[in-house]
Structure 1
Amino acid sequence: MNVVDLLVKYPYFAEVVAGIRRPGAYRWLDFTQQNADLDRLDLADTAAFDDYVFGKRLEGGKYLGVGGYAEHRTIYHRSAHFSTANEEPRCIHLGMDVWAQAGTPVYAPLAGQVHSFGFNDRFGDYGPTIILEHSLESYTFYTLYGHLSLSSLEGMEAGRPLQAGEAFATIGTYPENGHWPSHLHFQIITDIGTHRGDFPGVCTLSDRDRYLALCPDPNLMLQIPSGT
């Protein structure tokens, strides 16, 4: 038995974003090289990127956008945060994104407590971030929420208990959310080590297997039907 086995058999998690499982409420978004739209888009221009996501792909916010786990993404070329001259670029996405309007509430999928939080204030980074700690049977694991509003951190305390389905944050807007179109980065972490308020959400190709083992598919908890 391990954390993944427990998540697979757990009967129900509260929705992290309200309505995310409703058929017809969302579209799966592709940010890999297979998406030819990205070749014509100035991804460093967050306003243009936002207009593409919410204007073109999500039809003015009519739909939520979802997807991204284990994707080899081209969109990280927009930021030096993921690529430097002397290091292998990071390009494998370790979480799942929910693209929704700024101000959308974020709910705890499972009872737990606040592990840590921080403001990762670099272009392309998480922006305001909260990490929750959960326990199932004898296992402890963590869920990370990135690209939140700064107001989500006001009054936040490590150790604060949360019930399943309790609202504890809201999705942020750019630039405070790390300069991204508004969305939630949701990630499961089985071993957080010494990290606090931050954890890699994107890794290199060479580290892919190691990090995907640490960060299993977030849809185990989001429970969004595939292919809809």
Structure 2
Amino acid sequence: MTSPILQAQQVSLTYKSSKRGFFSQFKHEALKDISFDLMRGETLGILGRNGGGKSTLLRILAGIVNPTSGKVNCAPNTTRALLTLGLGFMPNISGRENALYSAMLQGATRRKAKSLLKDIEEFSELGEFFDQPVDTYSSGMRARLGFATAMYTHVDILFIDEVLSVGDAHFRKKAEAAMAEKLHSDQTCVFVSHNSDQINKICSRVIWIEGGVIREQGDTATVAHHYNLSMMSEN
């Protein structure tokens, strides 16, 4: 039986802030008691509208943000990477240098990282911009660079935050095909989106998050259908 590679146990995150000179305090519960297992080799979807807590949960699962309560347990020596728009990119250096450093941060040796650069450059289709500073990039170009780097650098768990919705139709089609090929291997992935069609294409199981809590989880077709009905009833 496949064993969990990651477990979220009653994960909650609360933001608090106080106004100077006043006794009032703002409090927002972004996530409340989120629990689930991620199985090794699984492609898990996190579905929900914008502002529902999906991206916050992804950052906690990737180890970037600590929860207020609860915990995330990973199998020993598990490597994780979060693919989102420009996360971790250094704006004043080139796309090539960022790709090199990103690959090394994800566990590749410098020699291995350098050997990946040609593939990353070709897949990203950035042309001469690959050797230009990232702060000259559009959001779509940053997404191309981040996606290409993630595709050619192996990590145990890949977390993907909506990047397949960015860019022109040609690159979206290319990215979806590359993702499908990678996910048909033994790659473990968590994919976040508000788009149920994308979730349906690549995810075997889905968790619907609404207002920081799990509204429903289970097989993709059923949960996505209920999510779409909910969205339609509010329009």
Same fold (TM over 0.5): no
Larger-Rg structure: 2
Point out the structure with the larger helix share: 2
Normalised by the length of structure 2, the TM-score is: 0.28
Normalised by the length of structure 1, the TM-score is: 0.28
